[in-house]
Amino acid sequence: MAKETRRRVYEFMRNQIRAGSVPSVREVQRAMGFSAVQSAQEHLDALVADGFLEKIPRISRGYRLPERSVSAFMIPLLGRVQAGGLVDAIEDREGYVAVDIDPSRRPLFALRVRGESMKDAAILPDDIVIVRQQPSAQHGDIVVAMIDDQATVKRLRIVPGPAGSSRAELHPENPEFSPIIPEGDLHILGKVVEVRRQFETSVFHEDSIP
């Protein structure tokens, strides 16, 4: 029937693309048993017109699934963040974590939480925080900052200082810990945008990369 072939074309494309390889027009032709390229082309055009597929003109294998637009990204899970901040720490990655925020707009990284200082904010040891890299933050944000050559997760508070000035403090969310009042500059690595707790390990550990 009419509609039947189109459905077969769509399912062929969807399965192939999900499996990781985009068919060319002639591969669709062969898969469907058409003896003309144009037959496959027209079905593909129709699927694009109906929004079932997207295509990049003129490039080979340029068809995409629209739901790819909600795509996922992998960001590095850093092991330790030490002196020198991220520049050095980037090389010390523990694995990768999947996020659905586009990291190309603003760099993201992930960090494993140590210690119980944020317990009352429901952030526990071994949780993973997703951090958006930025040099400053607002009052009330949960941030990652460098304290004594170690990355620490705390809540940022901006308190009024003498003579109308203001000062940044790092507050834990656990009465057993004390606030940190930095003496000099406060080196903020970024703002925590998400917290994750995994009950099963699923982080990818890489061996080596060229």
Partner DNA sequence: TTGACTACCAGACATTTGTCTGGTATCTTC
Partner DNA sequence: GAAGATACCAGACAAATGTCTGGTAGTCAA
Restricting to residues 69-108, which ones interact with a copy of itself according to CB under 8 A? 69-74, 95-101
Q: Contact between 36 and DNA (CB under 7 A)?
A: yes
Of 14, 31, 41, 80, the one binding DNA (CB under 7 A) is 41
Q: Contact between 133 and DNA (CB under 7 A)?
A: no
Q: Contact between 16 and DNA (CB under 7 A)?
A: no
DSSP string for residues in 24-87? PHHHHHHHHT-SSHHHHHHHHHHHHHTTS-EE-TTSTT-EE-GGGGS--EEEEEES---TTTHH
Q: Contact between 43 and DNA (CB under 7 A)?
A: yes
Q: Is 39 a catalytic residue?
A: no
55, 154, 165, 202: the active-site residue = 154
Question: Interaction with DNA in 51-90: which residues (CB under 7 A)?
Answer: 55, 57-62
Q: Is 154 a catalytic residue?
A: yes
Q: What's the length of the chain?
A: 210
Q: Contact between 13 and DNA (CB under 7 A)?
A: no
Assigned token pair, 8? 């077969």
Question: Interaction with a copy of itself in 100-159: which residues (CB under 8 A)?
Answer: 100-101, 119, 122-124, 132, 134-139, 141-142, 156, 158
Rounded to whole angstroms, the Cα distance separating 107 from 124 reads 24
Contact 152, 145 (CB under 8 A): yes
Q: Contact between 26 and DNA (CB under 7 A)?
A: yes
Q: Is 111 helix (H, G, I), strand (E, B) or coil?
A: strand
